[in-house]
Amino acid sequence: MENNNQTAMPRIGDPAPEFKAVTTQGEINFPQDYKGSWVILFSHPADFTPVCTSEFMTFASMEDKFAKANCKLVGLSVDGLYSHIAWLRTIKEKIEYRGMKNVEVKFPLIEDITMNVAKQYGMIQPGESSTKAVRAVFFIDPKGIIRTIIYYPLSLGRNFEELYRVLIALQTADAFSIATPADWQPGDDVIVPPAGSCGSAKDRMEGKEDMKCYDWFFCTKKIDKETVLKTVLKK
Ligand code: BEZ
C-alpha cells in the first residue's frame, strides 16, 4: 500500500496507520483484522540473528499468556517471506535456549522488504541503522488506537514480562479509571484521579473517602490482584 507520509512517527493516541501485508500466516489487513483485540505490533532488525532469536523464542513461549489478556502479536522485519519461513523453521527444529525448545512461532511475521510498513511506523531510525528496523513495540487497543510506544536499539533485547505488565496496566487503567504508579504490578495500590475541587481535596485529606492520601493531589486505593486479573483475563 502506498504511503505518502513515510517519515512520520506515529504518536500515542493516533489511530494505528493502516497497511496490507504478506506474513508467515497469510495476508493481513492491519489494524482492521485485529479490531476487538489488543495487538502488539513489534519489529526486529533481522532474521537469523542472535538477539532476535532469543526474543522470538521468548515471545512465542508467552503467546498464550498474552492471548488470555485478549492480545495478539504481530512481528515485522525488513527481510523477505522465505527468509522468515526458514528462520522460524530453524528456531523450531534446532534451537534450544534457556529451557525453551521446539518453539513454534504461530503469530504472523510480516515481510517488509520495501520498508513500507517500517517507515509508516517510524521503525527505521537511520542514526541506528538505515537498513534494519529498530526494536519497536506498539500497543494498539481494540479500537485501533496506539496506546503505548517503546523503542529499543539493535543491541538491546526486550523484557517481555515488562511488555506484559504494560498491557495489563493499560487494561486496568481503562477498566477502573485509575492510573498506575511506578513499578506497579497487579495487586499493588493504584492512583485515583486528583481531586477536582477544594471540597473533595479536603474530604480526602480528612480521610472521608476510602483512599490513602500522601497529599491532596496524590491518593491511592486498593484493587486486589484477583479483581484485576478477573477483569482483564479471559476465562
Ligand atoms: C541480533 O538480533 O542479534 C542483532 C541484530 C542486528 C544487530 C545487532 C544484533
- Cα–ligand 1 centroid distance for 157 (angstroms): 9
Q: Is residue 13 part of a domain?
A: no
Question: Which residue, 158, 185, 209, sits at the end of a domain?
Answer: 158
Which parts of 43-115 fold into alpha helices (H)?
Answer: 50-61, 63-68, 81-94
Say whether 66 sits in a helix, a strand or coil: helix
Strand arrangement, sheet containing 218-221: 190-191, 218-221, 212-215
- Cα–ligand 1 centroid distance for 73 (angstroms): 20
Residue corresponding to grid cell 512461532: 105
What is the tally of structural domains in the chain? Answer: 2
Q: Which atom of ligand 1 is nearest to the CA of 157?
A: 2
DSSP string, 157-225: ---HHHHHHHHHHHHHHHHHT-B--TT--TTS-EEPPPPSSHHHHHHHHTT-SSSEEEETTEEEE---H
Per-residue pLDDT tens digits for 106-122: 999 999 999 999 999 99
Q: Which atom of ligand 1 is nearest to the CA of 50?
A: 3
Mark whether 219 is an active-site residue. no
Per-residue pLDDT tens digits for 184-212: 999 999 999 988 899 988 988 888 888 99
Q: Between residues 50 and 9, which one has the greater pLDDT?
A: 50
Of 52, 71, 213, 219, the active-site residue reads 52
Q: CATH number of the domain at 153, please.
A: 3.40.30.10
Whether the model clears a pTM of 0.75, i.e. scores above it, the answer is yes
Instruction: Say what the pLDDT of residue 5 is.
Output: 45
Q: Between residues 65 and 207, which one has the greater pLDDT?
A: 65
Mind spelling out the 3-state secondary structure of 111-163? ECCCCHHHHHCCCCCCCCCCCCCCEEEEEECCCCEEEEEEEECCCCCCCHHHH
- Cα–ligand 1 centroid distance for 175 (angstroms): 38
- Cα–ligand 1 centroid distance for 200 (angstroms): 53
Query: Using a 6 Å cutoff on CB, does residue 81 contact ligand 1?
Result: no
Q: CATH number of the domain at 183, please.
A: 3.30.1020.10
Round to whole Å and give the CA distance between 104 and 39: 19
136 and 67 in a single domain? The answer is: yes
Query: Using a 6 Å cutoff on CB, does residue 144 contact ligand 1?
Result: no
Q: Is residue 168 part of a domain?
A: no
